[in-house]
Chains A and B, each alone.
Chain A
Amino acid sequence: MKLHEYEAKKIFKDAGIPVPDGKVVFSSSEAKKFAESCGKSLVAKAQVKVGGRGKAGGIKFPENPEETGKVTSELLRMKIKGEAVEAVLLEERVDINKELYLGFVVDRGSKNIVCIVSSMGGVDIEEVAKSHPDKVSRIYVDPRIGLMDFQLRNLFLKIGLESDIMRQAISIAKKLYNVFVSFDSELCEINPLVVTGDRKLIAADAVLNIDDNALFRHLEFEKVDDSPEYRARKAGLSYVELDGDIGIIGNGAGLVMATLDLVHFSGGEPANFCDVGGGARADRISLALNLILEKKGIKAILINIFGGITRCDEVAKGLIDAFEQLQLDLNKIPIVVRLAGTNREEGLKILSKLNLITVDTMEEAAKKVVIEARR
């Protein structure tokens, strides 16, 4: 789960990391009022969770309260890379002398926490690592011991920080590490970490991603919404919306991914990823069908089940119940079903009552559903 910049900055500030003074606003009048009361030059930043916000026009520099209100309402009407702007962060402008990078990330390969720093902040760190590897320095942190001062001295010396800046950087890095650990973060970064004209460090931006598996320890971030992803997760399903027009349901993440790929190879485009998990009970299948059908323009649906411990006859009963609940018109939206594994024959017998298209293999199922969708 990715937090908004303003949410991350609040956490950073509470941890003692310097951030610019500011306020998050949700309307133009609120923005104008804040600009009037603070009386300083402000920057207005659209709060979205996608990268490349600056280039997309999501950061504005209004000159007076009137203009602050105006740019805020403009930003609130924007969509950046498909994401609607619902809040704007107004902050005092920072006097930038130099921009650094500081971040912590979980490195999967080595199973370590990595601390990354760079003397080239304000740009994509992955790009800097490629174009100027000498400007990026990293160390592994042992989670049993934590981040040590000597590691930070080595790290910051390598990117050429002078001693007064280094002292501040070490203090900020230790605080950021504490945030990274205590919030179960997978990625936590300050980019840029600004060196101001009077040689002070301040976090001009903030990124904090929290491990979804650890949300039970951070219930304050559990946001109730009506997105298909959220409703699926609450019911024990896994759902991701995609751009195509063929709905996909299956059991097991890997099998569903492979099913999407096969549909793609057969010339179709999947509308979603939906893993109903083990058991594949009627209520889950019916929710999965509902989520898929909420999306406009679905042309056909493919259900791919490999019965293991889950028996195909149970799945078939689930399908019958789900279809009865939903009263689907199978002439309008054809459904291709592929059952394999435990009690397949019994499952197919149960399904023969319905006007479904049943096939034997994944490959056939993908081809068939694409033909049906193109009809």
Chain B
Amino acid sequence: MSILVDKNTRVVVQGITGREGSFHTSQMIEYGTNIVAGVTPGKGGGEIHGVPVYDTVEQAVQERDANCSIIFVPAPFAGDAILEAAYSGIELIVTITEGIPVHDMLKVCKIIDSMGVTLIGPNCPGVITPEEVKVGIMPGYIFKKGPVGVVSRSGTLTYQIVDELTQREIGQSTCIGIGGDPIIGTNFIEILEKFENDEETEAVVLIGEIGGSDEENAAKFIQKEMSKPVVAFIAGITAPPEKRMGHAGAIISRGKGDAKSKIAALTDAGIKVGKTPGEVGDLVERLF
């Protein structure tokens, strides 16, 4: 078992003919992902890496039975692309695109939530169930199948921590980048709940950063609702207030969202917080 994606996931790539979309399609196919279709408006009828290209997601769903979408569409058009996927009957939408306006995402999230569709991202590396399926842009070879679920707001920092796990021979059940934006489709709690209910997952690593209060909410949820151990890491102890640290969502705003209070909230809830990526690896190793 795993969460969100498995062997039955049939993926359509929105924005498949773009540089990123095309490159990562080939990478995903190499990893074993079942890419059934691609969509680029105006380019329907063609083929790329052996994948048929359609003009609309609706066609991709009708012709190829796609049930999951990964989006590489540029930011100004990405809100439209997400809703196109949702209205076409896609159940899981993974949005890689960075830079989507907040007001677009506010509307998109309201509609997505009311439809019962799952949105991961935007501004995220995607989802991977190691040695099975990758719906994302992460380097597949650093992952290893195993019992640890990973959920993160970051990209390369996740790779760093996964690498620490894999080097210690600790594999992962599923790894999810939920995204670095202020408004994202799926927050920590929803993923933690899935890990709690997943038979294959025995422990969880949560990687947070400054900005918002998602880590604080996660801390409460873990304390109340989770039986599986969680190890956390929070980036941004040295971040100054009111400055965006790379991610649109990584900002300490009006005295809220700093790393220290997040670490305190997690620690108070009995969750071990690693000071360095290496320490996270050590803490997880001790669990097994």
A-B complex is real:
yes
* A residues in contact (CB < 8 Å) with B: 106, 108-109, 111-113, 126, 142-144, 181, 184, 186, 211-214, 216-217, 238, 240, 242, 250-258, 260-265, 269-270, 273, 275, 306-309, 340-342, 361-363
B139 & A341 in contact (Cβ 8 Å cutoff): yes
Q: CA A181 – CA B102 in complex, angstroms? A: 10
Q: CA A44 – CA B177 in complex, angstroms? A: 49
Q: CA A275 – CA B250 in complex, angstroms? A: 13
Binds A, one of B32-40, B221-229, B275-283: B275-283
A242 & B240 in contact (Cβ 8 Å cutoff): yes
A242 & B238 in contact (Cβ 8 Å cutoff): yes
Q: How far is the CB of A315 from chain B (nearest CB, A)?
A: 12
* Interface-central residue, B141, B142, B181, B212, by most chain A CB under 10 Å: B142
B246 & A109 in contact (Cβ 8 Å cutoff): no
For B277, give its contact among A144, A263, A362 (CB under 8 Å).
A362
B137 & A254 in contact (Cβ 8 Å cutoff): no
Q: How far is the CB of B72 from chain A (nearest CB, A)?
A: 13
Q: Determine if B153 is an interface residue (Cβ-Cβ < 8 Å).
A: yes
Question: Told that A108-B214, A258-B160, A260-B236 touch, could you supply 17 new A-B pairs with CB distance under 8 A?
Answer: A108-B249, A109-B187, A214-B101, A217-B101, A240-B245, A252-B154, A253-B180, A253-B209, A254-B152, A254-B209, A257-B246, A261-B235, A264-B238, A307-B139, A309-B24, A362-B278, A363-B276
Contacts of A106 in B (CB 8 A): 102, 106, 182-183
Q: CA A363 – CA B160 in complex, angstroms? A: 12
B183 & A254 in contact (Cβ 8 Å cutoff): no
Contacts of B180 in A (CB 8 A): 253-254
For A108, give its contact among B23, B212, B236, B244 (CB under 8 Å).
B212
Contacts of A212 in B (CB 8 A): 244, 248
**27 pairs, CB–CB < 8 Å, chain A vs chain B:** A106-B102, A106-B182, A106-B183, A109-B213, A111-B105, A111-B113, A126-B255, A143-B106, A184-B103, A186-B102, A213-B101, A217-B76, A217-B101, A253-B154, A254-B156, A257-B210, A257-B245, A262-B276, A265-B276, A270-B238, A273-B239, A275-B246, A307-B139, A309-B137, A309-B139, A341-B163, A363-B276
A211 & B102 in contact (Cβ 8 Å cutoff): yes
Q: How far is the CB of B236 from chain A (nearest CB, A)?
A: 5
B182 & A108 in contact (Cβ 8 Å cutoff): yes
Q: Determine if B100 is an interface residue (Cβ-Cβ < 8 Å).
A: yes
B138 & A254 in contact (Cβ 8 Å cutoff): no
* Interface-central residue, B106, B158, B212, by most chain A CB under 10 Å: B106
With contacts A111-B110, A184-B102, A240-B245 known, is A254 near B163, CB below 8 A? no
A257 & B235 in contact (Cβ 8 Å cutoff): yes
Q: CA A144 – CA B137 in complex, angstroms? A: 32
Q: Determine if B107 is an interface residue (Cβ-Cβ < 8 Å).
A: yes
Q: How far is the CB of B157 from chain A (nearest CB, A)?
A: 3
Q: Determine if B243 is an interface residue (Cβ-Cβ < 8 Å).
A: yes
B155-207 residues with Cβ-Cβ distance < 8 A to A are: 155-160, 163, 180-183, 187, 207
Q: CA A269 – CA B239 in complex, angstroms? A: 11
Q: Determine if B1 is an interface residue (Cβ-Cβ < 8 Å).
A: no
Q: How far is the CB of B288 from chain A (nearest CB, A)?
A: 22
Residue interface mask B38-54, A partner, CB < 8 A = 1: 00000000000000000
Q: Determine if B237 is an interface residue (Cβ-Cβ < 8 Å).
A: yes
With contacts A212-B244, A213-B248 known, is A255 near B157, CB below 8 A? yes
For B76, give its contact among A216, A341, A363 (CB under 8 Å).
A216
Q: CA A271 – CA B200 in complex, angstroms? A: 44
B157 & A252 in contact (Cβ 8 Å cutoff): yes
Q: How far is the CB of A162 from chain B (nearest CB, A)?
A: 30
Contacts of B99 in A (CB 8 A): 213
Q: Determine if B286 is an interface residue (Cβ-Cβ < 8 Å).
A: no
B103 & A253 in contact (Cβ 8 Å cutoff): no
Q: Determine if B111 is an interface residue (Cβ-Cβ < 8 Å).
A: yes
Q: Determine if B4 is an interface residue (Cβ-Cβ < 8 Å).
A: no
B235 & A308 in contact (Cβ 8 Å cutoff): no
With contacts A108-B213, A308-B156 known, is A258 near B183, CB below 8 A? no
Q: CA A28 – CA B249 in complex, angstroms? A: 41
Q: CA A324 – CA B213 in complex, angstroms? A: 45
Contacts of A255 in B (CB 8 A): 154-157, 160
A144 & B107 in contact (Cβ 8 Å cutoff): yes
Q: CA A242 – CA B243 in complex, angstroms? A: 10
Contacts of B142 in A (CB 8 A): 308, 341
Residue interface mask B140-152, A partner, CB < 8 A = 1: 0110000000001
Contacts of A361 in B (CB 8 A): 278
Q: CA A240 – CA B243 in complex, angstroms? A: 7
B276 & A109 in contact (Cβ 8 Å cutoff): no
Q: CA A126 – CA B253 in complex, angstroms? A: 11
B277 & A214 in contact (Cβ 8 Å cutoff): no
Q: How far is the CB of B151 from chain A (nearest CB, A)?
A: 13
A257 & B101 in contact (Cβ 8 Å cutoff): no
Q: How far is the CB of A259 from chain B (nearest CB, A)?
A: 9
B57-91 residues with Cβ-Cβ distance < 8 A to A are: 75-76
B101 & A340 in contact (Cβ 8 Å cutoff): no
Q: CA A339 – CA B133 in complex, angstroms? A: 27
With contacts A106-B182, A111-B183, A265-B276 known, is A253 near B245, CB below 8 A? yes
When C-beta atoms are compared, the residue in chain B nearest to A211 turns out to be B102
Contacts of B106 in A (CB 8 A): 106, 111-113, 143
Q: CA A111 – CA B110 in complex, angstroms? A: 8
Q: CA A270 – CA B237 in complex, angstroms? A: 12
Contacts of B137 in A (CB 8 A): 309
Contacts of A111 in B (CB 8 A): 105-106, 109-110, 113, 183
Q: CA A184 – CA B107 in complex, angstroms? A: 12
Contacts of B259 in A (CB 8 A): 261
A253 & B277 in contact (Cβ 8 Å cutoff): no
With contacts A262-B276, A340-B163 known, is A254 near B247, CB below 8 A? yes
Q: CA A250 – CA B240 in complex, angstroms? A: 18
